[in-house]
Amino acid sequence: MFSCNRYRTALDARPQKGKRSRVAVVAPRLLIVALSGLIALPLAESTQPVTAGKQKKSKTITRIFASNGQVDIPGAGTTGPANPYPTTIDVDAFGKYKKVKITDVNLTLRGLEHQHTENIDVMLVHGARRALVMGDPGNGTDVSDLTITLDDEAGADLPDGAVLTSGVFRPGNQSGTDDFPAPAPIPDGNVTLSTFDGANPDGQWQLFVNDDAAGNTGRLSNGWQLEITAKAKTGKDKKHKK
């Protein structure tokens, strides 16, 4: 799990635009868990009001959502779709903002273990947008309890042919074309998380995980999480509520 300090540090590192910029980090808060752990849990909220010009004002909001349930890779046997498939996070947190658009998405896979990580393909879907963010990473080394964060701005690519370790990596598909069983959409060639930039963050996010080779299995022991940053226009008629 991450501590709040990670997010505070990330926010502090951002360019501070305008004299009234500020950072407020709200400590993680416990919410009710129900229905097999698949319910999205807002874990933390950070806001960064930005003053841009005399007339138009915008606010940058970063929030974290998680699905804590275990995801078996694959769901049965040694190859095929994970269970659940897809695993989902329903985001309903930005409706109070006007003209909200995603500016950054980071995806974290929590408690990843697998006997051969090159079996794993992962596609993130939101609306009509999709990104094959991880395909056949690592090698045949049996790994466990990994925390893998996929971030376009990371300084390293996912390992290819070398052991997969915990860390922050750029999304990547090591093997070219990958097929995902229905009901997954057909991959459209997008890999980066910037695929979702410009979209409204609210709505369902689906994570399709597929094991593409016979033999060897694993799981996401602690599910997955999304860190979504969005920019919203603010006005006198619709102020942000704390």
Q: Is residue 119 a contact residue for Ca ion (CB under 5 A)?
A: yes
Q: In this structure, are residues 63 and 85 in contact, taking their beta carbons and an 8 Å threshold?
A: no
Task: Please tell me whether residue 144 binds Ca ion under the rule CB under 5 A.
Answer: no
Contact between 212 and Ca ion by CB under 5 A: the answer reads: yes
3-state secondary structure (DSSP) of residue 149: strand
- Quick one: 113 or 152, whose CB is closer to Ca ion? 152
CB of 54 to Ca ion, least distance (A): 30
- Cβ at position 9, least distance to Ca ion in Å: 14
Q: Which of 106, 117, 195, 206 binds Ca ion (CB under 5 A)?
A: 106
By CB under 5 A, is residue 81 in contact with Ca ion? Answer: no
Among the listed ranges 78-86, 139-147, 183-191, 200-208, the one in contact with Ca ion (CB under 5 A) is: 78-86
Interacting span for Ca ion (CB under 5 A) from 10-18, 58-66, 86-94, 211-219: 211-219
CA distance 206 to 189: 17
In the bound complex, what is the minimum distance in angstroms from residue 193's beta carbon to Ca ion?
6
Q: Are 112 and 147 in contact (CB under 8 A)?
A: yes
Please give the Cα distance from 236 to 57 (Å, whole number). 10
Q: Cα–Cα–Cα angle for 177, 223, 167, nearest 5°? A: 70
Subset of 178-207 contacting Ca ion (CB under 5 A): 178
Q: Is 48 in the site for Ca ion (CB under 5 A)?
A: no
- Does 160 sit near Ca ion (CB under 5 A)? no
Spatial separation of the C-alpha atoms in residues 130 and 184, rounded to whole Å: 10
Locate 41 and state its tokens.
């849990």
User: Is 136 among the residues that bind Ca ion (CB under 5 A)?
Assistant: yes
Stretch that binds Ca ion, among 15-23, 32-40, 118-126, 164-172 (CB under 5 A): 118-126
| Cβ distance to Ca ion smaller for residue 28 or 140 | 140
Task: Give the Å distances, CA to CA, from 41 to 29, 38, 137, 168.
Answer: 9, 9, 28, 22
Q: What's the Cα-to-Cα distance from 54 to each of 17, 27, 37, rounded to whole Å?
A: 13, 32, 45
Nearer to Ca ion, 79 or 139 (CB): 79
**Of the candidates 103, 132, 93, 94, the residue with the CA atom closest to the CA atom of residue 230:** 103
Binding site for Ca ion (CB under 5 A): 78-79, 104, 106, 119, 121, 135-136, 151-153, 175, 178, 211-213, 216
